[in-house]
Amino acid sequence: MTAARDLSMITAEPVFPRRPHRRRRPTNGGRPMGDQMIRVDMTNQTATVEDFPDKWKYLGGRALSARILVEECDAACDPLGPDNILVLAPGVLSGTAAPTSGRMSVGGKSPLTGGIKEANAGGNPAQDMMKLGYRVIVVTGQPADTEARYALDVTTDGVTLKEVPDCKGMWNYALIDHLAQSYSANASFVSIGPAGERQMKGASVCCTDQDDVRRPARHAARGGLGAVMGSKGLKYVAVDAGKAGVRHGADKKAFMQLCKGMSKTYLDGPQPMQYGTSPSVDMAQMLNTFPYKNRVEGQSPDAATLTGTGIIASFEERGGGMHNCMTGCIVSCSNVVHDADGNYKTSALEFETLTLLGANCAVDTWDKVAALDRLCDEVGLDTIETGAAIGILMDSGGMEWGDNVAMEKLIAEVAEGGDLADAIGHGADATGEKTGHHRVPTVHGQAIPAWDPRPLKATGVTYVTSAMGADHTAGLVVNPGATPDQLARLSQEQQHINAAIDASGFCMFLMPNMEQIREFYSAYFGEEISREQFLDLTWQCLQDEWDFNKQAGWTAADDKMPECMQTDAVGPEGAKVVFDIEDDVIQATYERMIEPTEEVFAKAGAA
């Protein structure tokens, strides 16, 4: 898209007109009778609605995605070929009045890791899908014309697949601006940028947030699932729930009591995520898990100008502030960042982005990182994978450390293509291969996130054992004092909790525990779900993911940290650490050891 190449055009907030929309007569309260699912066949360009199978009744989000992929996808398939499956699965509680419960799981076989992948995003599409009664969208096949672009419309009238040649190559903000001209103000969108269309392995899937302007700022970013969506020729999904109301629990009274109770408990409490993740810079710096210059150090000399406290302080002078990315959120962790002239720049500028595009590349201010974050959202790239890739490029001598202007140009080039830009777009491993550099901090082909496995060894165990590859959202354990005999259990416990949260639709930043989620499920389905049953559900999710990866060719020999994490130490003098965990500890994580005790079920997910 010609206009998007001018980087000066992406500094201001897009303007979306408030459009009157046609009022449709709701059917059965604005959603189909009973739960249904949507199947999209891109080979034949068809979209059909089916009843949602009873065998998947208790599954949503990540757990549902894993089950569908195990049952219907050939694990040995080409991730960018017609046999891969793209799954869009709201959590079980999405679309209800449960607070902060509208998360979307995007699933498929990852072109980055070669294994199963779930990436999670906020925004409103999951809420709207579930209000219409659609538990999941399953996309299969591939169009014969690889240059064609398609869109899926999901409304109270049904589902429609259509060709959208005018949207080809559009950057995400321009795309949503364009779509606002023809869709109602109620519509929410799932989209990919040009990186996804070009099938870059670091491409993200974008969901629009709940503000009137519907920013395309919520990204299911990890694992290259934007490339999978691009390989299907699917540019966007539009969901318009019209006047459809929220979903209710089978035990409506008990469900609403739980909603009110959880909201009150959180709002009356310390609200640790009220400013999002960006203030985590300070703690990470203290723990030597704020990687600098491709992880050669665990601390950055620029932490004071990268930390989120500066972002928060800017709100009074520049505007912006905190907001909730989806309807019904009580956490409001998402920041809206303005530039020095008071113009909208990006949302949300997170700790991981400040780390990987910031400190890891020796970029010295959050203002500079904000511009890089906006570009990644526009083009549709994972900020973690992109920052790790550029860090490798800089470490190899291919770009000056801290050159944010050169970084901006390179990220923008991913939209059109270029030898070096394509390496960055394909991620850290591809950049390592391109440069021949020896320090490539990835696990299972995916870049290690900010939380460093050397001081945080239990998190490191998660990185090497999770079916997701190096992914902090799979099971983050911020416990630098953990002893070797504790690591496998700590990792598995957190992987259990996070799988439960990802399946439910709750946001991790609400910090729900498994007992709370179990109680919500019991009221929602109108039947008592025991702790044993609930833990079985979460373990089955993990087991499905591991089983898929075994079929895809993963072995115990792949459960390794890269050499640089085992040899390059970080930390203060006299207390430097590497990742030095024995294989028997790592492999123990696969043996079920978590019991359905009151203590386990009371533990909250790590934010």
Asked if residue 214 and residue 284 are part of one domain, the reply reads no
Predicted pLDDT of residue 248: 96
User: Cis omega before residue 348 (within 30°)?
Assistant: yes
Predicted pLDDT of residue 34: 67
Asked if residue 286 and residue 169 are part of one domain, the reply reads no
Predicted pLDDT of residue 32: 37
Asked if residue 234 and residue 285 are part of one domain, the reply reads no
- Within-domain flag for 114: yes
**Which residue range(s) make up the domain with 371?**
274-403
Asked if residue 283 and residue 219 are part of one domain, the reply reads no
Asked if residue 281 and residue 218 are part of one domain, the reply reads no
* Pairing status of strand 205-207 against strand 188-191: antiparallel
Half-sphere exposure of 328 toward its Cβ, with a 13 Å CA cutoff? 27
Contacts of 578 (CB under 8 A, 6+ apart): 454, 565, 566, 567, 568, 569
Predicted pLDDT of residue 213: 84
- Check whether 1 has a pLDDT greater than 90: no
For 101-126, how does the pLDDT look when each residue is reduced to its tens digit (9 = 90+)? 999 999 999 999 999 999 999 999 99
Q: Work out whether the CA dihedral 512, 518, 522, 525 comes out positive or negative.
A: positive
Q: Which residues pair with residue 47 across a beta bridge?
A: 40
Cβ(529)–Cβ(521) under 8 Å? yes
Asked if residue 299 and residue 193 are part of one domain, the reply reads no
- Check whether 54 has a pLDDT greater than 80: yes
- Within-domain flag for 518: no
Q: How far is it, in rounded angstroms, from Cα 554 to Cα 320?
A: 45
- Within-domain flag for 341: yes
Distance set, CA 157 to CA 88, 89, 248 (Å) = 20, 20, 21
Reduced to 3 states (helix: H, G, I; strand: E, B; else coil), residue 111 is coil
Nearest to 360 by CA among 371, 349, 370, 369: 369
Q: How far is it, in rounded angstroms, from Cα 416 to Cα 423?
A: 13
Q: Cα 63 to the chain's mean position, in Å?
A: 15
Cβ(280)–Cβ(351) under 8 Å? yes
Domain-ending residue, one of 188, 217, 239: 239
Question: Can you give the CATH number for the domain in which 397 is found?
Answer: 1.10.569.10
For 492-538, how does the pLDDT look when each residue is reduced to its tens digit (9 = 90+)? 999 999 999 999 999 999 999 999 999 999 999 999 999 999 999 99
For 411-424, how does the pLDDT look when each residue is reduced to its tens digit (9 = 90+)? 999 999 999 999 99
Asked if residue 279 and residue 225 are part of one domain, the reply reads no
- Check whether 605 has a pLDDT greater than 90: no
Predicted pLDDT of residue 606: 63
How would residue 211 be classed by pLDDT, with cut points 50, 70 and 90?
Answer: confident
Half-sphere exposure of 404 toward its Cβ, with a 13 Å CA cutoff? 20
Portion of the chain with pLDDT greater than 90, in percent: 93
| DSSP state string for 81-101 | STT--EEEEE-TTTTBSSTT-
For 288-313, how does the pLDDT look when each residue is reduced to its tens digit (9 = 90+)? 999 999 999 999 999 999 999 999 99
Cβ(431)–Cβ(411) under 8 Å? no
Asked if residue 301 and residue 200 are part of one domain, the reply reads no
Asked if residue 283 and residue 158 are part of one domain, the reply reads no
Lowest mean per-residue pLDDT among 17-31, 82-96, 451-465: 17-31
Domain-ending residue, one of 369, 403, 437: 403
Furthest C-alpha separation in the chain: 71
Mean pLDDT taken over the chain: 94
Question: Can you give the CATH number for the domain in which 195 is found?
Answer: 3.60.9.10
Domain-ending residue, one of 353, 383, 403: 403
Nearest to 4 by CA among 177, 191, 208, 202: 177
Contacts of 463 (CB under 8 A, 6+ apart): 443, 448, 453, 469, 470, 471, 474, 561
- Within-domain flag for 229: yes
Amino acid at 359: A
Q: How many domains does the chain have?
A: 2
Asked if residue 296 and residue 225 are part of one domain, the reply reads no
Q: How far is it, in rounded angstroms, from Cα 475 to Cα 490?
A: 9
For 572-597, how does the pLDDT look when each residue is reduced to its tens digit (9 = 90+)? 999 999 999 999 999 999 999 999 99
Asked if residue 280 and residue 231 are part of one domain, the reply reads no
Amino acid at 400: E
* Pairing status of strand 134-140 against strand 36-41: parallel
Cβ(334)–Cβ(346) under 8 Å? no
- Within-domain flag for 344: yes
For 160-199, how does the pLDDT look when each residue is reduced to its tens digit (9 = 90+)? 999 999 999 999 999 999 999 999 999 999 999 999 999 9
Name the packing angle between helices 531-552 and 514-525 (round to 10°): 100
- Check whether 28 has a pLDDT greater than 90: no
- Within-domain flag for 340: yes
Predicted pLDDT of residue 16: 37
Cβ(385)–Cβ(427) under 8 Å? yes
How would residue 604 be classed by pLDDT, with cut points 50, 70 and 90?
Answer: confident
Contacts of 456 (CB under 8 A, 6+ apart): 287, 289, 477, 478, 479, 480
pTM for the predicted model, two decimal places: 0.94
Name the packing angle between helices 308-318 and 366-379 (round to 10°): 90
Contacts of 425 (CB under 8 A, 6+ apart): 195, 198, 200, 201, 202, 203, 381, 386, 414
Residues in the chain: 607
Q: How far is it, in rounded angstroms, from Cα 46 to Cα 152?
A: 10
Nearest to 468 by CA among 257, 221, 268: 221
- Within-domain flag for 550: no
- Within-domain flag for 90: yes
Q: Nearest 10 degrees: CA dihedral of 438, 441, 445, 450?
A: -160
Asked if residue 229 and residue 174 are part of one domain, the reply reads yes
For 219-240, how does the pLDDT look when each residue is reduced to its tens digit (9 = 90+)? 999 999 999 999 999 999 999 9
Q: How far is it, in rounded angstroms, from Cα 262 to Cα 17?
A: 36
Helix, strand, coil content of the chain in percent (nearest 5) = 40, 15, 45
How would residue 266 be classed by pLDDT, with cut points 50, 70 and 90?
Answer: very high
Cβ(215)–Cβ(347) under 8 Å? yes
Distance set, CA 307 to CA 144, 457, 557 (Å) = 48, 24, 38
- Check whether 11 has a pLDDT greater than 50: no
Reduced to 3 states (helix: H, G, I; strand: E, B; else coil), residue 9 is helix
E-only strand ranges, 397-527: 442-443, 446-447
